[in-house]
Amino acid sequence: MRPLTPIDRRSDLPVGAPISRDLDEIKRGVLAPYNSTTYFVYRGEPLGYEYDLLQAYAKEQGLALKMVVVTDLKSIYSMLNSGEGDLAAGRLVPTPEDEAAVSFTHALYRTEPALVQQAKPPEAAGKGTQKALQPGPADETPEVDIQARLITKPAQLAGQTVTVPEKSPYNRTLVELSDEISGDIHVVEMGGKIQDEALAQKVARGEVEFTVMQGNLAELKEAEFKNLKVRPVIGRSQSVTWAARKSSPDLLNKLNDWIEEKQNGTLFDRLYKKYFVDRRSYLERVESQYLTSATGKLSEYDELLKRHAGEINWDWRLLASQAFQESRFKPEARSWAGAVGLLQLMPATARQYTTCRGP
């Protein structure tokens, strides 16, 4: 299993002209943030709605999928055009400014922007609010006085302050809403590397009063932080897509054909339900100590694997990956053929190499 190699870039750089590289030459991989639905590693296994889709596409095309982690989403299009990756993913919502710089695929799905607000005090949120903000760091925020009255209609946002990530596509949505209602909405763009999930966490903590994010993601955050309320929808349904360079029309066309074909089957629906509808599995992942994005830990056997991998000069993550594939990190696992333990050794093999008792 290849270790994660995040790439950090200045986000204030302009989106330059795209390099000339198309389908036949694509080698650099997919630029994507590391978050709870796009791409993450859980118990040693890479997962994610967009990761699984990309893996399916790569397998059909005979390509080896390479994920390039982007720590600052604001820089993803400049990195794409400079050739640091050949495709961008990550719950991308096209804006007119972005469409002038890159090309977007057909929609993977559509979702409505929803307001995220606090319905109960921070102590009712649950233990998830104590986790470090990801990816962080963020601008400091002053204490806010959370109102007791919930916003139930978009017009009630008149005179309120809504915080969104810098360069958020929902800045425009809020400006349009402000023009429609009788009163200005004060939009604050939070700098740093903070993104929508961390802002939802800040709302739960009582550090920010309101934020706006994709409705399907907001509902997952409502399940994670028990004091949040997701309401109301504040704008039209919007497409979530992938992005390619304007100099890669062959790649764009092939991706669009593939998306159209697969959306007529079961793949898209099955993965959408897995990552956005199944709240129980979502909570199991984000509350687990084995979600690598938050802790860097793959399993409770990390130290054991590190120690013995060092003795034979192996990368311990290879052993961890093999252990996950063989037993899902369950030392009591036993196959129909009699293989046992984390690495599913046959008893005769274990005796041959004088394997000690234990996992």
What's 190's domain CATH number?
A: 3.40.190.10
Using the structure block, give the residue that is written with the tokens 């057909």.
106
- The number of residues making up the chain comes to 359
185 and 269 assigned to the same domain: no
On whether residue 1 sits in a domain, the answer given is: no
57 and 133 assigned to the same domain: no
Report the distance separating Cα 342 and Cα 185, nearest Å: 55
The pLDDT mean for the chain works out to: 85
137 and 81 assigned to the same domain: no
Specify the pLDDT at position 300.
Answer: 79
On whether residue 314 sits in a domain, the answer given is: yes
161 and 222 assigned to the same domain: yes
On whether residue 127 sits in a domain, the answer given is: yes
33 and 58 assigned to the same domain: yes
CB atoms closer than 10 angstroms to residue 168: 25
Least confident span in 77-91, 251-265, 340-354? 340-354
Q: How far is CA 148 from CA 9, 161, 201, in A?
A: 40, 15, 18
Specify the pLDDT at position 329.
Answer: 75
Helix (H, G, I), strand (E, B) or coil at 261: helix
Specify the pLDDT at position 60.
Answer: 93
309 and 332 assigned to the same domain: yes
36 and 98 assigned to the same domain: yes
Looking at per-residue confidence, does 94 or 17 come out higher?
94
Which domain, by its residues, includes 318?
Answer: 302-352
Report the distance separating Cα 273 and Cα 309, nearest Å: 38
* Average of per-residue pLDDT across 281-309: 79
On whether residue 183 sits in a domain, the answer given is: yes
Please state the domain count of the chain: 3
- The structure's pTM equals 0.77
User: Of 225, 186, 251, 236, whose CA–CA distance to 29 is shortest?
Assistant: 251
126 and 229 assigned to the same domain: yes
Specify the pLDDT at position 31.
Answer: 95
Report the distance separating Cα 327 and Cα 234, nearest Å: 46
Q: Under a CB-based contact definition with an 8 Å cutoff, are residues 81 and 15 in contact? A: yes
Specify the amino acid at residue 126: G
